Structure 1
Amino acid sequence: MRLSVISLLAIFASTVVCDEQAVAEQQQQQVPDQQPEQIEQSEPKIEYPSTMGLKEFDKLTNEKLVLVEFFSPYCHHCKAFAPVWKEAYLKFKENYPDYNIDMRQVNCVESGDLCDREHIDFYPNILLYAPVLDKNGDKTGKSKSIDSFPRGVDRSSENIIKYLQEAYSEYDSGAIGMPSSSKLLDIDSMLRVIDGDIDNPTFVAFFPVSEKEWEIVDNGGKAGFTNQPEVVHAKQIWDRLSNKILSISDTGHFMCKDNPSVCEKLKINKNYPQFVMFLPRSIGVVRFDYDDFVEINRMKKWVTKLFQNSRYEVVSARGITEVMEFTKVLANQPIPYVYPLQSKVLVLFFYDVDNVTPEDEAILPHLLKTLQDSPFNVELHKAKHKKIEENVITMGKNLIDYINYDETEKYQYDQVLSLATTLTSKPTIIILKDNSLIANVYQSFAPEDMRTYDKVEKFIQQSQYPLYGHLTPELAPYYFDKSEANKDDLVVAVFVDLENLKDTDSQLYHLSLIAHEYHYLQQQQYYEQVLKSRQDKFEKAKEQTEALEVLKELREQVPHLWTKNDRVLFTFIDQPKAFKQFRNVKGWKLNPRNYQVGDVVILSKDNTYYWDTDLEGNKLTNQPKNIKKTLLSILNKDNQAHRKIVGSPYGGILSFMDYVHDYGFLGYLGFFITIYLILFALFNARRFRIRKRSSPNSSGILGNFDGAKKD
């Protein structure tokens, strides 16, 4: 078949068009292949690292700050958290490439030896590691865990990045120049904060300056805060603090010079900086004023404590072990502690989930206020699991085994006594302490018991002390005060050397024994008094003949005597540093140089009396049996223990003067009047004897007459 010229031209044209389209498509396909190369050349791709083993972990953490997530591939929570961790890593590396801090992971199935060494008990566990430095600030080739991701903070990628910023700001020396994260608050924003119309806690600094003056200083000017050195210092602290609490609180600053009426209504000091934390309205209380020193670590600790406690987080029986050194059994041997001790005290609002009411939970804001004022490491949680009640009973049983250290004197578990001291309705308050088998239970038998806030507050204040705490100058005013209500309370202090860790562990073990034993003996004694009081009440009722009188006697309330004020607190003092630390403490008159490591002194809580000898007159040392006998003698007031006066200048053969010194001016006045009367009586007696000797003997009125007789 022949083809016409026109047909040939048409075929040729279509072939050319197809070839051009093929070339164009080929070029289009090559463009995407070339784009990544161009991007990689301009912006290097961030690689997501693999998990670390033991060697890489030690090498990396010995050199820099590292936030480490310990996880298990079989953990459901770890699987859900994995994309969040990856997102945080990529965003952090992209936005903060110059920060000298890293994020890595450890698979605890593949690196079980590492996780065992680091005591990883749950997953995911996020810990911050830093190099260990020597006294000169040089790296030692070792590392340690210095912090953990805050419990109760949502583990979102944003919060993880904020925490990394905090860590870098606090622990890396190159972070001094970080800009402040605090935001200037205008009046509208401030009014929302004051009203609690906020999603996050907001820590606000009120400065007695204007916005213009603030900007001058922010931009490097020196004349912004003229003649206000305290404001300059407070701003420096505030700028750094704002970067250290990013993950737990928003921060803002308000200029009182520009807005005097607002600050006046809030009762803000117009001459000095003032710091106030505002909480969301849903917490139940909005405003908390910070009234301690303007010092960055104190302020961060205060904010962290308020944030954690204001969440009212529900904790399970197992969860308690994650927030404190909880135990149901103690071995009869020293515990290898890590110093300084955390001395955590856990306050549980324990309730029945089926019967709790909003009126019951109205006490939570009051608890929050009380605990925020406490100087101790006290943490507030809600709890509802019945296992916690069972644990309290188990602790009471195991306490008996723990204090049976003396073969000559054995104690038996008394179930009736246990019920009498722990029986309560719900809701109630249960207080647990680090490494303690003692659970303080607020015994509530009617709804009004938990709604009498003064009564609950008193219980918290009496139970806030750790089982044995480090007595420091800062805590001395809380262990000792002149209140009449505390005159029968005692403080047991053992002298230790915190440089000798093994010996200190041993000293605290002995102190733990006597603390647990005294607690049991005190409850036993009080319970016996309650039984006796009840028996006396029934006997009086039997003596009555009228029915109304019988009812009157039976209605007479028998008090719970274990709420009396003869409590004993247990502490330890670092003897080598004590003299220097306590010499400027107001009201402290005990000389630590008179004691050695292992010595014990018992002081009255009003800091008036002390005992440092046992019943035989020997120096009182940290032996549980001797301390027990001395304590019981003091509490029973049998005068066997020798009482001394704190700050008395007398001793030795003049120790009797302690009784004079005890009464102050009146004592000395009475003493000198007595001495005067005695001397006066002796002087008159002597004059009488002299007169009697010198007077002539006479049988008559005129006496004898020796002259010659005349007729």
Structure 2
Amino acid sequence: MLLNALALGLIFIARFFVTSQAADNSHTGIDDDFPDPLNAAQFDTEMSKHLHVVEFYSPYCHHCKALAPIWKNAWRNFRDEGRKLNISFAQINCVESGDLCHRERITAYPAIKLYGPNGFIKDFPLAQKRNLETLTNFARQEAMNADNFDTGFLKSQSHLLKGTEFLSLLAGNAEGPHLVSFWPSKNLMTTDDSSIEFENCDDCHSFQNTWTVLSNKLISENFTINHLNCESEMKICRELGFSDLTEITNHRADRSPHVVLIVPKKKAGNLFYYEGDEHTVRDYEDFARRTTFNAQAPTVSNDVLGQLISEPFQMKKSPGSPDGSIHIVFRYEPDTVVQEDFDILEHLIKPVSNIPNAYLHKSTDDLLSFSHELFKSMYGLINYNPGEEAKLPNEEFFSMSAITQYPTFFMFKQGSTIPNIFHGYSTTEMRDFDLITEWIEQDSLPLLNELTPVTYLKLLEYHPELYHFMAIQLVNTSTEAELSRSLDYIENFRLSAFDYESIRNDYLMETVAAERKTKDEAVRAMKAKHAASADIVKKMRDEITHEKGHRVLLTFLDLSTHDWLLAQAGLQPSDRNYRNGEVLIVDKKSCSTYVERDSLGEILRADTPFAVKDTLSRLSFPSRYNSDTIERVQIQGSNRVRFSVISSISEHGFVGYVLILALIVFAVRVPKMLRKISNARKYRSRRDTTGLLGKEKSKD
């Protein structure tokens, strides 16, 4: 008995010891080959070799413990790929290496940061969840980001700007574009000075590196890069709305540098604020270049437009690159245009620049004929099937869509033969800023849009009243062979969209013709009944609205990087494995169903343009077909509920949103009202039973 008890005791102690060790090592995940945290000496040596994604943690931190298995899984899954990309994951235990963490300005755990041979580069985005996909995608994208390579030898080309100099530039004395950053500092002479301590500005040190790289990139393009100390130039910073950089009013609030652009050749309207959510070198470059371009709105010819539209589609872009260019062209007649007509361009600089990869131009070329040639070329592309009857351009539809007078706006997109013409019937429309920006915004997406965790909801919720369906082309760029096949699928996908557009044109024209017929019959009936002339004329003047809906939003998703997104969006049952070339179609209006099979019940694929075109047509225009044979699949999980609620509210328009607002206000105020009623009742009850001296109230 004693031996048995002793044996059981030893087993218990051994298990306790193993469990304790496992718990102690739960963050670093020490097992076979998972690396130990780096110490200070190892850190400097390792960082000098290549790019690293580094986690600074404390073994006593609850969030760090929760991240531990995720971090270990990311290290294991990305290890081989990381070797090829020259980037790896590393950890620092801030209890064991406190001096190192202090040196690297670690103030919270866990802190995930990107380092290169020349030191700290940037933080892992705070807005992103920390999971396997986001960690590995961050490493993958940063490994391919050219801005992260060999920046240590760069010296900042930014020049310190005094307040009077800034005001001179603002007065219209700039000879070229000036990109200016504003800092919560008093004596920042050069923006690469790492000895400066910024108070309540966690982003300042990473932004120093960004600004150094940016200044070296843009200086060769006639940009002047400047910086200004807001603690020295308080009045200017406050006038610009940067009061938070002049002094600390809330010690809990974090601060960040601000950036503005001053464009040349303008004495007014020459200042533009950077208002983007991202703060990478690429984002600031794009802001500076396109805003400067759009402020000039250079003249463009039909030949140049043709080249811009026909640029080939690039699937494997650098991280963050836009999906395709958009060109908005102000077309005017030199002999009849007046200066007031050009004023609208000044107001469009900012909204157009806020659209990714959108450019503003002027032109005196015959854009109407150019648009007509594009329209006809679309029909040349969609006559791909010799077994089908030849498809001819619907000239009546084009004429209806092209009714306008000059000046007006045209919109062209890379890879698209579908022109878009603003209906400027009079001076009133051409000087209506809201009307023009609405026209631009409703068609401000490229022909093809990449689906990512960041863009999915934005695209799904983008104007469902116009874009009834979102078609998703699944691609795979993991190998050269898969990439080549993906490009073929994308081309068929694009042709199917043009083919669908021809059917949509016919449908819209038939709808207009039916409304015209109904109107004519009503006028004839009124005449037969000898109705009053005024009533007949009023009926004849009834406007026939041209429907703008039944559009399809074209997207693609790379299975090699974001295959998990389909399950998260409720589009992938547990037993479904998607493959390169397959196509999904999501109902944007209801956000509750999607389609994965064609009318024959086969998996929908883009091996040819026909199946996708046919499926889209049957979904959008069921009355044109004998029966609805398209099977719809329910979107699974909480996403379906969320999207259905959003859709239900949207369907009721303004009234729906007012009702929701009223319910929110009601929900907030009801508890307060109930408390007041309860307190009043208690007060009356006390007044009814006792007087000021606590005696029972006398009865009459």
TM superposition score category, shorter chain reference: 0.5 to 0.7
Structure having the higher Rg: 1
**Which residue of structure 2 lines up, in the alignment, with residue 642 of structure 1?**
631
Alignment match of 1:491 (pick from 456, 460, 470): 470
Give the deviation of 1:239 after TM superposition. 2.2
Alignment match of 1:181 (pick from 135, 145, 157): 157
Q: Deviations over 1:35-62 (max 9, x none)?
A: xxxxxxxxxxxxxxxxxxxxxxxxxxxx
Give the deviation of 1:357 after TM superposition. 1.6
Cα RMSD of the aligned pairs, angstroms, is 3.3
**Which residue of structure 1 lines up, in the alignment, with residue 582 of structure 2?**
599
CA contact (8 A) 1:496 1:572 kept: yes
Give the deviation of 1:320 after TM superposition. 2.4
User: In 2, distance between residues paired with 1:368 and 1:477?
Assistant: 27
Alignment match of 1:250 (pick from 211, 220, 224): 224
Q: Deviations over 1:214-235 (max 9, x none)?
A: 2498556x35335643212212
Distance 1:612 1:632, change over 3 A: same
**Which residue of structure 2 lines up, in the alignment, with residue 509 of structure 1?**
491
Give the deviation of 1:421 after TM superposition. 1.8
Alignment match of 2:415 (pick from 435, 457, 464): 435
User: In 1, distance between residues paired with 2:508 and 2:542?
Assistant: 18
**Which residue of structure 1 lines up, in the alignment, with residue 605 of structure 2?**
621
User: In 1, distance between residues paired with 2:268 and 2:331?
Assistant: 18
**Which residue of structure 2 lines up, in the alignment, with residue 382 of structure 1?**
362
**1:557 is aligned to 2:543:** yes
Q: Deviations over 1:1-46 (max 9, x none)?
A: xxxxxxxxxxxxxxxxxxxxxxxxxxxxxxxxxxxxxxxxxxxxxx
Alignment match of 1:578 (pick from 549, 562, 565): 562
**Which residue of structure 2 lines up, in the alignment, with residue 318 of structure 1?**
303
User: In 2, distance between residues paired with 1:516 and 1:476?
Assistant: 23
User: In 2, distance between residues paired with 1:229 and 1:372?
Assistant: 28
User: In 2, distance between residues paired with 1:505 and 1:337?
Assistant: 9
CA contact (8 A) 2:308 2:414 kept: no
**Which residue of structure 1 lines up, in the alignment, with residue 280 of structure 2?**
295
**1:529 is aligned to 2:511:** yes
User: In 2, distance between residues paired with 1:172 and 1:481?
Assistant: 34
Q: Deviations over 1:567-616 (max 9, x none)?
A: 21112111121135778xxx844349742111111113364432222233
User: In 2, distance between residues paired with 1:510 and 1:572?
Assistant: 13
Q: Deviations over 1:487-538 (max 9, x none)?
A: x522111101123232122101211111111112112211111122112112
**Which residue of structure 1 lines up, in the alignment, with residue 292 of structure 2?**
307
One-letter code aligned to 1:597: N
User: In 2, distance between residues paired with 1:659 and 1:135?
Assistant: 42
Distance 1:305 1:659, change over 3 A: closer
Give the deviation of 1:549 after TM superposition. 0.9
CA contact (8 A) 2:404 2:422 kept: yes
Give the deviation of 1:258 after TM superposition. 1.8
One-letter code aligned to 1:646: I
One-letter code aligned to 2:540: L
User: In 2, distance between residues paired with 1:277 and 1:448?
Assistant: 32
**1:453 is aligned to 2:433:** yes
**Which residue of structure 2 lines up, in the alignment, with residue 67 of structure 1?**
none
User: In 1, distance between residues paired with 2:313 and 2:333?
Assistant: 37
Structure 2 spans left out of the alignment, 5+ residues:
1-82, 87-145, 246-254, 649-700
CA contact (8 A) 1:470 1:573 kept: yes
Q: TM-score, normalised by structure 1?
A: 0.61
**Which residue of structure 1 lines up, in the alignment, with residue 176 of structure 2?**
200
User: In 2, distance between residues paired with 1:415 and 1:136?
Assistant: 53
CA contact (8 A) 2:327 2:360 kept: yes
One-letter code aligned to 2:205: V
Q: TM-score, normalised by structure 2?
A: 0.62
**Which residue of structure 2 lines up, in the alignment, with residue 225 of structure 1?**
198
1:81-96 paired onto structure 2 within 5 Å: none
Alignment match of 1:372 (pick from 340, 349, 353): 353
Alignment match of 1:235 (pick from 183, 192, 208): 208
CA contact (8 A) 1:217 1:224 kept: no
Secondary structure at the aligned position of 2:501 is classed as helix
1:313-462 paired onto structure 2 within 5 Å: 313-325=298-310, 339-340=316-317, 343-375=324-356, 377-386=357-366, 388-406=367-385, 407-462=387-442
Secondary structure at the aligned position of 2:418 is classed as coil
Q: Deviations over 1:314-342 (max 9, x none)?
A: 0112232454526xxxxxxxx79674386
One-letter code aligned to 2:427: P
Give the deviation of 1:663 after TM superposition. 7.2
**1:480 is aligned to 2:460:** yes
Distance 1:191 1:604, change over 3 A: farther
Give the deviation of 1:265 after TM superposition. 2.1
Secondary structure at the aligned position of 1:272 is classed as coil
User: In 1, distance between residues paired with 2:503 and 2:353?
Assistant: 32
Secondary structure at the aligned position of 1:319 is classed as helix
- The aligned length equals 475
CA contact (8 A) 1:216 1:223 kept: no
Q: Deviations over 1:255-311 (max 9, x none)?
A: 111222322221124332111222246386323222332211221122222222222
Alignment match of 1:471 (pick from 444, 448, 451): 451
Distance 1:284 1:266, change over 3 A: closer
Give the deviation of 1:464 after TM superposition. 2.3
Secondary structure at the aligned position of 1:473 is classed as coil
Secondary structure at the aligned position of 2:580 is classed as coil
One-letter code aligned to 1:601: L
**Which residue of structure 1 lines up, in the alignment, with residue 107 of structure 2?**
none
Distance 1:582 1:278, change over 3 A: farther
Give the deviation of 1:313 after TM superposition. 0.6
Structure 1 spans left out of the alignment, 5+ residues:
1-133, 138-169, 327-334, 651-657, 667-711
Give the deviation of 1:135 after TM superposition. 5.1
CA contact (8 A) 2:327 2:412 kept: yes
Give the deviation of 1:465 after TM superposition. 2.2
Q: Deviations over 1:322-377 (max 9, x none)?
A: 54526xxxxxxxx79674386222221111121122222112123322221113x2
One-letter code aligned to 2:225: T
User: In 1, distance between residues paired with 2:299 and 2:642?
Assistant: 56
CA contact (8 A) 1:541 1:549 kept: no
CA contact (8 A) 2:158 2:226 kept: yes
Identity %: 23
**Which residue of structure 1 lines up, in the alignment, with residue 657 of structure 2?**
none
Distance 1:649 1:455, change over 3 A: closer
One-letter code aligned to 2:283: R
Distance 1:349 1:296, change over 3 A: same
One-letter code aligned to 1:633: R
One-letter code aligned to 1:449: E
User: In 1, distance between residues paired with 2:169 and 2:199?
Assistant: 30
